[in-house]
Amino acid sequence: MINLKKCLSIFSILIICAVIAFQTPFSYASENSDPKPKSSEFQLIIQNAKQIPTKYRQQLTQEFYRVYPLLVNKFNKNAPKTIYLKVDNKTEYGAYVIGHTISINYKAIQIDLDAGNLGIMIHELTHIVQDGYQGDVPSWIVEGMADYAVLLYGTEKTDVSLPKASEVKSGKKYLEKESYRHVTRFLLWVKTHRRATIFEDINAAAMAGTYKESLFKKWTGQTLEQLTQAYAKNPGSFEENSQCFAQRNDCPDVVPIEIYHQVKISKGKAVNLRSKPFKEAKTVGSIKNGEIVTIKCQTTGDLVGKSSKKTKLWSHVQIGNKKGYLSHIYLPDINKTNIKDIPACKKK
């Protein structure tokens, strides 16, 4: 005969084991991370949550769900969806990233956390997104871009300070040595006075594995060394409203106008410079395809171009000793410049 009591006992044990096995993963998740917002496709898992005071854990978690989706959308849409956070109070750094894990010494940054300054979380999350960078991207570029993200997405409690103008120096070695906010400040200057899309350009090249220093000349008409020299001569006033310069393209800054662009010709090897912004005006010189010109001012003149690519805008340009008017049809990248930086030509 079947021992009914024994069967019931075995059945009960099996049920209990099944329940424990089923619940274990969920218990582990609840012990190691705060509740995930239902609408979020991302998740932060804290590996040793009990070592972080509840207040700080909640701060870091909330900042993750606020900022990480913005970083992914801006810099790398293929970034990982699950990020790990763990405590490492032995590290001399406030935080560091390895793979998809942020290690944080909360004791080293306790003053910032108490003040609600979570810039370090934005910075380190940016490094995780930058894991998509390919090829040889210099560390000073990587760190400067990460601090740009802090300015871009920081709150009113975030430290968004920049070095003062008196601290600025020329030369690539200066950027390599100081890195971080010094690089961010320099790139904000480039964004404001040379190339409005410089941060996007650098990120795209780094993601594609095509970043190289020579791209600065393609983007701005000047080498990196020339840019740093121009920057050091008049570094502007970015520290006065750093987030405005990071987030917008119309923030005022006192810097001499000196804009460069590359001439691009669809047909032929050269284009004529004119004495006035008209197609039949006197020829005062010619410019070869690919040459870099300095934009002095802009005005309107004859309509130039075909089909949808037509424009009445002309710029007074200079290359060496040659000066004259050139249609914007031959300066296709000029729309990537902050148009406010190009003054109107004075009427004669």
Predicted confidence pLDDT, tens digits, the chain (348 residues): 445 444 445 445 444 444 444 443 333 344 455 667 778 899 999 999 899 999 999 999 999 999 999 999 999 999 999 999 999 999 988 999 999 999 999 999 999 999 999 999 999 999 999 999 999 999 999 999 999 999 999 999 999 999 999 999 999 999 999 999 999 999 999 998 888 899 999 999 999 999 999 999 999 888 999 999 989 988 888 888 899 889 887 776 654 445 666 677 766 778 999 999 999 999 999 988 878 788 888 999 999 988 778 889 999 998 888 999 999 888 877 765 555 667 888 876
Distance CA 54, CA 57 (A): 5
List alpha helices for the chain, DSSP H. 4-32, 54-75, 110-114, 119-129, 139-153, 172-178, 180-193, 198-208, 215-220, 224-233, 242-247
- 3-class secondary-structure state, position 66: helix
**Structural domains of the chain sorted by starting position, each given as residue range(s) with its CATH number in brackets:** 43-129 (3.30.2010), 141-247 (no CATH), 259-341 (2.30.30.40)
Distance CA 144, CA 148 (A): 6
Residue type, 170: S
Q: What's residue 155's pLDDT?
A: 95
- 3-class secondary-structure state, position 105: coil
Secondary structure letter of residue 282 according to DSSP: P
Q: What's residue 7's pLDDT?
A: 47
Distance CA 190, CA 71 (A): 22
Q: Are 202 and 213 in contact (CB under 8 A)?
A: no
0.95 exceeded by pTM:
no
Distance CA 203, CA 191 (A): 13
Q: Closest Cα partner for 193 from 169, 152, 228, 243?
A: 228
Exposed, middle or buried by CB within 10 Å (0-12, 13-18, 19+), for 24?
Answer: exposed
Give the residues across from 325 on adjacent strands. 274, 316
